[in-house]
Amino acid sequence: MNMNQKTSRLTIMAMLCALAFVAVLAIRIPLIPAAPFLEYEPKDVIIMTGGFLFGPLPSVLISVIVSFVEMFTISSTGVIGLIMNILSTVAFVCPAACLYQKRHSTKSAFAGMILGSILMTIIMVLWNYLITPIYMGYPREAVVQLLLPAIVPFNLIKCGINTALTLLIYKPLVTTLRKSNLLASRSEDEQKTGKINSGTIFLLGIILVTVIMVLMVYKGII
């Protein structure tokens, strides 16, 4: 990757970070009447675009940057909100970015987002079960009662909306970036690779930590 490609990549990533934050700031829609605190915002559409363009690790970096900016500006949930935001986005975006990086097709993108939707829903159910009682002071029994009627449908609906919007905007956005010479017609980031990259390792780490936390709760350690 030459200097111009690096500069273009950083420019696009900075633009995606800004757009993702604006998306959170401008659009927050409650989806589940039983849990109005669960609000949809479309930042994952922007971050998924970054994952398709550059791979899993850059999408993780965009997620972390945007989540930190949220925490210091508009969020009222502090570090817990930061953690949950990163977990949610990474679980959704990384599987799709990995599959799309291996094979650039709409089918791969769609299959990856379906896989990411399932993984994100599972991760969010488990982490809400683990963290909400500690953060909110609720008994776990009360949290369990919210999982099926609120947490699960919210995450599935959110992923469905994000999948549809990503499929709608990705190709036109890439075409615009290429016409403006910000994105090469075929960059090194788009080459197929069989190696396990850092984004995949990060995702596997999240899954491992989740399993360990669940086991700790099961054993009564936390």
Domain ranges within the chain, ordered by starting residue = 3-19+41-218
pLDDT higher than 60, residue 191: no
**Helices H, strands E: what count in the chain?**
8, 2
Q: What pLDDT is attached to residue 134?
A: 76
Q: What is the pLDDT of residues 138-188, one digit of tens each?
A: 788 888 888 888 999 999 999 999 999 999 999 898 888 888 877 766 544
| Number of CB atoms found within 10 A of residue 35's CB | 15
Q: Say how far residue 102 (Cα) sits from the centre of its chain.
A: 19
Q: What's the pLDDT at 113? A: 96
Q: Is the dihedral of CA 64, 215, 137, 125 positive or negative?
A: positive
pLDDT of residue 49: 95
Would you give the DSSP letter of residue 147?
I
- What is the CATH code for 3-19+41-218? 1.10.1760.20
Higher-pLDDT residue of 10, 213: 10
Question: What is the crossing angle of helices 78-102 and 43-54, to 10°?
Answer: 40
Sign of CA dihedral 192, 55, 49, 151: positive
- Would you state the pLDDT for residue 140? 81
pTM > 0.95: yes or no: no
Q: What is the pLDDT of residue 194?
A: 46
Residues 61-100 pLDDT 10s: 999 999 999 999 998 888 988 999 999 999 999 999 999 9
